[in-house]
Amino acid sequence: MDIRVGDRLKLKKQHPCGSFTWLTLRTGMDFRIRCEGCGHEVMLPREKLEKRIRRIYRGEEEINPHISS
């Protein structure tokens, strides 16, 4: 899955603050993401994060990661 720094991720489950979207701050084997609702930062392993992603927003483009191109 192609995820880059600066991408916005819409996850399957809602954060306790009510937001579904997260900003990607670091990529690699672990990801650092920041909640766009409250600013909370979390580090997650790649495998765990990729299972939770519903949509990827890169600039104005929306990417569905579950449909192969």
The model's pLDDT over 5-43, given as tens digits with 9 standing for 90+, comes to 999 999 999 999 999 999 999 999 999 999 999 999 999
- The number of distinct structural domains making up the chain is 1
pLDDT at site 69: 53
Residues 34 and 41: beta-carbon distance below 8 Å: yes
In a domain, 39, yes or no: yes
- C-alpha of 19 from chain center: 12
In a domain, 66, yes or no: no
In a domain, 29, yes or no: yes
In a domain, 63, yes or no: no
Full-prediction pTM beyond 0.75?
Answer: yes
